[in-house]
Chains A and B, each alone.
Chain A
Amino acid sequence: MPALEMTKPATLPADWRDLLALTKPRVMSLVVFSGLAGLLAAPQLPPLALGFTAILCIALGAGGCGALNQWYEAELDAKMRRTAKRPLPDGRMDPQTALHFGVGLSVFSVLLMGLAANWLAAALLAASILFYVFVYTVWLKPRTAQNIVIGGAAGAFPPLIGWVVATGRIEALPLLLFAIIFLWTPPHFWALSLFVRSDYAAAGIPMLPVVAGIENTRRQIFLYSLPMAAAAVAPWLLGLTGPIYGASAAVFSFVFVVLAGRVFANRATDPKSMGAEKHLFAYSVFYLFALFTALVADRWIAW
């Protein structure tokens, strides 16, 4: 046998672009932004190098979560049109590479966070990664329609981590930021799951529209938007932020509730007629960016 044949790997080495795709860069951008907002909203700032490293660690941790999620759900992803072209279901990568990449990124991010920032922030980062992988991906997602409700906690950690990086303490404002994302997650994901519900049904994932029906999901979206709006304006009402954030939160949240009301009023069952759901989903992403931008602007302009 020629020497080259003996050293040839069983599968092609993964393309670096596919490794990057495993980290779900678009999801990561929202995570990084909310973490950065939590850091910049804090009353004191860490040195630039440490702040930058902490945000990098949040990004790497989120990337590790994305890779581990895709490793665990490769078979499910193959059944859904939206995810079938991902590197693992498409057969472009060896599953073990994805597992090693995900574990490596996660462990590295926690250790670097502990060394560069503080170990409380590292512990929170570790908790969010473990919660996302084991509680959400492995335990809740394939079992219950409440997967997003409880699993949403994993995505709510970044602003809290950002704040703890800066201050070393857990305080009321970052806990409220945690609550905002926690309550924002169900309407955000349920709006998406309404117009891709056939995908979830095909994969056997018990998302709310699949298990409880479209009408019930629309009602839940509207009901969740109310405490979410209350949580969004709470930092201002409690005197933890200034009027720039307060006015922005009130306006942005009002629009969110109106769009959720339009979803509630919609009776369409064909995804092509779900304009209200698509609007709410797109707006929900803008909402979180806008709210946290207002938080940082309020901290730096008004205070």
Chain B
Amino acid sequence: MTQEDEIIRRRQRERSRIMALLLGAFAILLFFITVAKIGINW
């Protein structure tokens, strides 16, 4: 594997981790938005 390939793999890995974290955070945020909306409309 060349140095450039290593950089590509490292960046892909880092971006995948950040994307996973962001998607997890978004799912949690949607949960709390839903709870708040139900509270308003109750």
Q: Is A9 interfacial (CB 8 A cutoff)?
A: yes
Q: Is A4's beta carbon under 8 Å from chain B? A: yes
Which residue from chain B places its CB closest to the CB of A47 in the assembled complex? B36
Pair A12/B4 contact, Cβ less than 8 Å = yes
Chain A residue nearest to B39 (CB atoms) is A47
Task: Find out whether the CB atom of B8 lies under 8 angstroms from the CB atom of A16.
Answer: no
A12 with B33: CB separation less than 8 A: no
Bitwise interface map of A from 1 to 32 toward B, beta carbon under 8 Å scored 1, else 0: 00010001100111110000000000000000
Q: Assess whether A53 is in contact with B29, with CB atoms less than 8 Å apart.
A: yes
* Residue among B11, B12, B29 making CB contact with A49, cutoff 8 Å: B29
Cα-based distance from A116 to B31 in the complex (angstroms):
11
- Do A13 and B33 touch (CB < 8 A)? no
Minimum distance in angstroms from A100 CB to a CB of chain B: 13
User: Size of chain B's interface in residues, with CB distance under 8 A?
Assistant: 18
Q: Is A50 an interface residue (CB 8 A)?
A: yes
Interface size of A by CB at 8 A reads 18
**Which of the residues B8, B18, B37 comes within 8 Å of A13, measured between beta carbons?**
B8
Interface string of A98-123 (1 = CB under 8 A from B): 00000000000000000110000000
B36 A12 Cβ-Cβ under 8 A: no
Check B32–A13 contact: CB distance below 8 A. Answer: no
- Chain A residue at minimum C-beta to C-beta distance from B40: A47
> Given A9, A14, A16, A49, which contacts B36 in the complex, CB threshold below 8 Å?
A49
In the complex, what residue of chain B is closest to A5 when comparing beta carbons? B5
List, in ascending order, chain B residues with CB within 8 A of A8's CB: 5, 8
Interface of B is mostly: helix
Report the minimum CB–CB distance from B33 to chain A (whole Å): 5
Other A-B pairs, 16, CB within 8 Å; known A12-B7, A13-B12: A4-B5, A9-B8, A12-B4, A12-B8, A12-B11, A14-B11, A15-B11, A16-B15, A16-B18, A47-B40, A48-B36, A49-B33, A50-B33, A50-B37, A53-B33, A115-B33
Can you list 26 A-B contacts (CB < 8 A)? Answer: A4-B5, A8-B5, A8-B8, A12-B4, A12-B8, A13-B11, A13-B12, A14-B11, A14-B15, A15-B14, A16-B14, A16-B15, A16-B18, A46-B36, A47-B39, A47-B40, A48-B36, A49-B29, A49-B32, A49-B33, A49-B35, A50-B33, A50-B36, A50-B37, A53-B33, A116-B33
Q: Return the 5 tightest CB-CB contacts between A and B, nearest first.
A: A49-B32, A47-B36, A49-B36, A13-B11, A116-B33
Chain A contact residues, CB within 8 Å of chain B: 4, 8-9, 12-16, 46-50, 52-53, 56, 115-116
